[in-house]
Amino acid sequence: MLVDENDIFLSQRSHPQMALLQVGENTEGFFVFHKQHPLQSILLPFATEYKKKLSVTVWDDVCDALEADEETNNWFSDMLHINCKLVYMPDSTKRLVDKEYATNNEITSFSDGYPMLMIGQESLDKLNKKLVEALPINRFRPNIVFTGGHAHIEDEMAAFSIGELNFFGVKPCARCVMTTIDQQTAASGKEPLKTLAGYRMKNNKIYFGQNVLQQQNGFITLADEIKIITQREVFI
């Protein structure tokens, strides 16, 4: 995660240029490059041990983190034209999800509030039929995308399995201005929030996709079958 000079998390909401940073992986670690300047990259080795401890803020949560070295921080600051630092969450830090929705004291990392977001392809297809210009799924940054079922069936999944693993649907995800940022250019507009407000608004919030918790650790793979175990009432 990137934090500012006050150790508060940064996101595309206030810094849309963050969309231009792309993360990849090789045998040595993660590498990050700027989409408009792909030759300008930095490697974050898997074996790196960060030592400087910080208390960082993610929304209402304050948790322990480790700060990257000065060279790494300078690279991100130069690429984004803001003073920032890269931080890492050690295994000793346990950031709990909202207890109102937790089933077994689940944890998440530096994500907004939950470890996973799931969206059905049918939901995106329905939206794109209403838009003048179709949008890619990366506008919504889901961890899991599935085919089949009707549009927004993910809202109804209270408990389900993917392959051999069990999951719980937490709640539909309220969407923000980040969905209006083109992930290739960092340009922003009014869509898709303008269109979604016409049919996916409830209590003054716009919803698209569902936050998800997993019951156990393991792997899911392409073409695994989703089986709905229990359903809830239609959300919208």
pLDDT of residue 128: 98
Of 169, 167, 175, which Cα lies nearest the Cα of 153? 169
Which pTM does this prediction carry?
0.93
pLDDT of residue 48: 82
**Which residue pairs, CB below 8 angstroms and at least 24 apart, start in 81-86?**
81/17, 82/4, 82/10, 82/15, 83/4, 83/5, 84/2, 84/3, 84/4, 84/5, 84/10, 85/2, 85/3, 85/4, 85/7, 85/54, 86/1, 86/2, 86/44
15/50 same-domain check: yes
Residues of the chain with pLDDT below 50 are none
Distance CA 199, CA 107 (A): 32
34/67 same-domain check: yes
pLDDT of residue 203: 95
pLDDT of residue 236: 86
pLDDT of residue 60: 95
224/111 same-domain check: yes
Where among 63, 93, 123 does a domain terminate?
A: 93
Q: Is residue 49 a part of any domain in this protein?
A: yes
pLDDT of residue 114: 96
What's the domain range around 169? 107-231
84/122 same-domain check: no
74/188 same-domain check: no
pLDDT of residue 224: 97
Q: Is residue 100 a part of any domain in this protein?
A: no
Q: Is residue 98 a part of any domain in this protein?
A: no
pLDDT of residue 34: 96
211/125 same-domain check: yes
Where among 49, 67, 93 does a domain terminate?
A: 93
Q: Is residue 219 a part of any domain in this protein?
A: yes
27/80 same-domain check: yes
Q: Which residues does residue 171 pair with via DSSP β-bridges, in sequence order? A: 211
What is the CATH classification number for the domain harbouring 160? 2.40.33.20
pLDDT of residue 47: 84
pLDDT of residue 82: 97
Q: How many domains does the chain have?
A: 2
88/113 same-domain check: no
pLDDT of residue 15: 98
78/119 same-domain check: no
Q: Is 232 left (phi over 0), alpha (psi -120 to 50) or beta?
A: beta
pLDDT of residue 226: 98
